[in-house]
Amino acid sequence: MILEATAITKDFKVKQKKFRALDRVSFALDEKEVLGIVGESGSGKSTLGEIVGGLQKPTSGSVYYDGKDISNLNGDDKKLFRRSVQFVFQSPKETMNPYFSIRTILAEPLRINYRKLSKTEIERSISDMLIRVGMDPKNTLSYRPSHFSGGQLQRIAIARALLLDPRILICDECTSSLDVSLQAQILNLLVSLKKEIGVSMIFISHDISVVRYISDRIMVMKDGHVVEIGESDEIITSPKDSYTKTLVETAYR
């Protein structure tokens, strides 16, 4: 087990009132496993992803990375955790500085995290990674984000995340803004990278058919609760909860 979340609760204050976005959510992620998290908008998927990835703090509950509570990590352990868990979000453009070239955007995290790397080594790493995600470095590195389509930018965002050699990749609706054929291309890319690199993934989407395509197990969420969790095929072919049944029927009707 690489990551474990135990009884994660998250409260937000909305108009002076407490709103519970997550209510005692627990799950574990195995090494090299892809766990899909599915549920309708507002069910708490993104909040959960950000909490287990250390971007938000839970109101109560704990997240363990390699058996260590992430809220107690300091110094080098904290840095290593931050590097080991990378995110790919829905809108890659929003996570890239529009004035920077892709070369700078990709080199920056490497420079910060691996101070000893030379310019040449960085250039080689980012070029190799671009090739891996299906982009031609020569036609990519000198351009700014606005030069690229959504699908191309998502490939670049995946390259940026993988350059840091993460053990966990959290993909939050990372194919949702793409049309169906591009969505399939990015999913196929993630599937092949998963086999090649063996990274664990948390794959968040509102679309259970997309989640099924990539996930070993699926966790279904509703109103901040876990409704059901199990092997992907089992969740799809014999869902136990009525909400899961509705999700499956709607997706495969």
Ligand X SMILES: Nc1ncnc2c1ncn2[C@@H]1O[C@H](COP(=O)(O)OP(=O)(O)OP(=O)(O)O)[C@@H](O)[C@H]1O
Binding site for ligand X (CB under 6 A): 12, 14, 19, 21, 39, 41-47, 206
Nearer to ligand X among residue 21 and residue 153 (C-beta): 21
Nearer to ligand X among residue 43 and residue 140 (C-beta): 43
Minimum distance from residue 130 beta carbon to ligand X (Å): 29
Minimum distance from residue 45 beta carbon to ligand X (Å): 4
Which of 40, 46, 36 lies closest to 210 in space, CA to CA?
Answer: 36
Nearer to ligand X among residue 45 and residue 217 (C-beta): 45
Nearer to ligand X among residue 42 and residue 109 (C-beta): 42
Minimum distance from residue 248 beta carbon to ligand X (Å): 18
Nearer to ligand X among residue 126 and residue 157 (C-beta): 157
Which of 170, 103, 104, 99 lies closest to 130 in space, CA to CA?
Answer: 103
Neighbouring residues of 73: CB distance < 8 A, sequence distance ≥ 6:
65, 81
With left for phi above 0 and alpha for psi between -120 and 50, is residue 82 left, alpha or beta?
Answer: alpha
Minimum distance from residue 251 beta carbon to ligand X (Å): 16
Quick check: 166 and 81 in contact, CB under 8 A?
Answer: no
Place of tokens 């072919």: 237
Rounded Cα distance, 225 and 36, in Å: 15
Q: Is 251 exposed, middle or buried (0-12, 13-18, 19+ CB in 10 A)?
A: middle
Rounded Cα distance, 237 and 33, in Å: 20
Minimum distance from residue 29 beta carbon to ligand X (Å): 18
Minimum distance from residue 131 beta carbon to ligand X (Å): 32
Nearer to ligand X among residue 104 and residue 177 (C-beta): 177
Backbone angles phi, psi at 118, to 5 degrees: -80, 165
Residue 29 is encoded by which pair of tokens?
């992620």
Which amino acid makes up residue 246? T
